[in-house]
Amino acid sequence: MPEEVNPFKIAQSQVDTVAEMLGLDAGLTEFLKNPQRELHVSFPVKMDDGTLKVFKGYRVQHNMARGPTKGGIRFHWDTDIDEVRALSMWMTWKCAVVGIPYGGAKGGVTCNPKEMSQNELEKLTRRFASEISIIMGPDTDIPAPDVYTNPQTMAWIMDTYSMNHGYTVPSVITGKPIPIGGSLGRNEATARGTVITIREACKKIGLELKGATVAVQGYGNAGSIAAYLIHDMGAKVVAVSDSQGGVLNWDGIDPHEAIKFKAETGTVVGFAGTETITNAELLELEVDILIPAALENVITSENAPNIKAKISGEAANGPNTPEADRIMHENGVMVIPDILANAGGVTVSYFEWVQGLNRLFWSEEEVNNRLEKIMVESFENVYAISQEKDINMRQAAYILAMGRVVEAIQLRGFYP
């Protein structure tokens, strides 16, 4: 993989840049650039046709200075250890940006969930949960959903962990279905957080959100919900996409109807009244707001000069390479970085964990109000640093986050 698109190398180079700005010493920088703990597993699953298939999976805990580690589990055919390392590191910074008491972790299984039956997915999930339960737990490391995992996946993980311990442990996982201890508002939280930060960014650059045009790449949990929340706030969603391609209608797409269409057909492609476009074309559309909500490295030095949006709200993790960041900043595009823009998910995961540990149930209004407060404050904190230091929003978010992690490390000291 070329260096520019290896997510772990990118995550490490981001640390290097900010470590220099913060004046960190070489040893501490090295510590922050590498995960504290990695578990690699290789495990068999009996498939429906009777064959035994071996899968590789990972759980990486990047840093635990600020608390137990937290981060999603991804099922994807391209998932590898470097992707999971990068994602775990971004989780550390994300939790620190919004000030919740967690370190960062991430998990992944290299598999193609689209080609597996529910039965096979359940077996794979339960076996993976057992494999990682030696480092997972409500006080140690708490997973959540990510690409191609969902509340049902979380329910299987919670049940597997609970069966192995002999009692129900809801707080071992977040993003659970509501009847078994999930939090109201969790399903929408990532997208709600993204849309809140976009709303705040609009105020800063003087863009009217009502009537603003929006393109959304990726139409899963983060993307489809961001599309309807921003639509419901008065913006005009003109393009959306998924792994099979994109659709465009300059008169506007109804995101609620597009969700129903995708649920029926498996893709947004072919949605009534739209023309088909590629994912690459979607990114370069003449829109006001872009929401990358799929995978990493979709904006690189090659297409960054062609991005016409005024704001890019990163619902996805790692959609920009560092070179893309530099180009977009020079071109005046306000990039709301992933570690801020999609932190709503982990924030409400934290609320779910707190409710679970304390046997509480908050109303959706209470969850959303608390989320709103944290997202607005975090956005303001990052924006203030970017203005004060004349740097882009990603660097500002890293300064805030790494500063908080370093403070925790130094207060705890270096054992022994």
Tell me which residues are annotated as active site.
Answer: 106
The residue nearest ligand NAD at its CB is 220
Q: How far apart are CB 218 and ligand NAD at their closest, in Å?
A: 3
In the complex, what is the shortest distance from the CB of residue 320 to ligand NAD, in angstroms, rounded to a whole number?
12
Per-residue mark of binding to ligand NAD, 110-149 (x: CB under 6 A): -----------------------------------xxxx-
Q: Which is nearer to ligand NAD, 24 or 106 (CB)?
A: 106
Q: How many CB atoms lie within 10 A of CB 335?
A: 27
Which residues make Cβ contacts (< 8 Å) with residue 347, sequence separation at least 6?
98, 100, 189, 193, 371, 374, 375
Q: According to the binding rule CB under 6 A, does residue 312 interact with ligand NAD? A: no
- The greatest distance separating any two alpha carbons of the chain, rounded to the nearest whole angstrom, comes to 65
Pick 133 or 243: Cβ nearer ligand NAD: 243
- Measured from the CB atom, the residue of 35 and 151 that comes closer to ligand NAD is 151
Helices (H), ranges, 206-298: 221-232, 255-265, 279-283
H or E segment to which residue 157 belongs: helix 151-165
CA quadruple 402, 185, 84, 1: dihedral sign: negative
Interface with ligand NAD, residue 241, by CB under 6 A: yes
With CB under 6 A as the contact rule, which of the stretches 29-37, 51-59, 309-317, 392-400 interacts with ligand NAD?
Answer: 309-317
Indicate which single residue of 294, 333, 339, 399 sits in contact with ligand NAD (rule: CB under 6 A): 294
Task: Indicate the residue among 29 and 241 with the shorter CB distance to ligand NAD.
Answer: 241
Q: Which 53-72 residues touch ligand NAD, going by CB under 6 A?
A: none
Nearest distance from C-beta of residue 273 to ligand NAD, angstroms: 20
Q: Which of residues 190-229 bind ligand NAD (CB under 6 A)?
A: 190, 217-223
User: DSSP of 181-194, one letter per residue?
Assistant: TPPTTHHHHHHHHH
Of 171, 274, 342, 395, which lies in the binding site for ligand NAD, with binding defined by CB under 6 A? Answer: 342
378 binds ligand NAD (CB under 6 A): no
Helix%, strand%, coil% for the chain, nearest 5? 50, 20, 30
Q: In whole angstroms, give the CA distance from residue 111 to residue 354.
A: 32
* Dist CA 58 CA 253 (whole Å): 38
Map the footprint of ligand NAD across residues 249-288, applying CB under 6 A.
279
Position among 243, 276, 297, 300 found at the interface with ligand NAD (CB under 6 A)? 243
The residue from 88, 174, 274, 317 that contacts ligand NAD (CB under 6 A) is: 317
For the CB of residue 263, give the shortest distance to ligand NAD in the complex, in Å: 11
HEC letters along 29-57: HHHHHCCCEEEEEEEEEECCCCCEEEEEE
CA neighbor of 328 nearest in space, from 351, 302, 346, 350: 302
Residue closer to ligand NAD (CB basis): 130 or 297: 297
What's the rounded Cα separation, in Å, for the pair 183 and 364?
8
Contact mark string toward ligand NAD, 345..364, x via CB under 6 A: x-------------------
Shortest Cβ 315–ligand NAD spacing (Å): 5
Antiparallel, parallel or unpaired: β 141-145 and 213-217: unpaired
Count the residues of the shown chain that bind ligand NAD, applying the rule CB under 6 A: 24
In the three-class reduction of DSSP (H, G, I as helix; E, B as strand; rest coil), residue 4 is classed as helix
**Dihedral sign for Cα atoms in the order 57, 8, 23, 381:** negative
Binding site for ligand NAD (CB under 6 A): 145-148, 190, 217-223, 241-243, 279, 293-295, 315-317, 342, 345
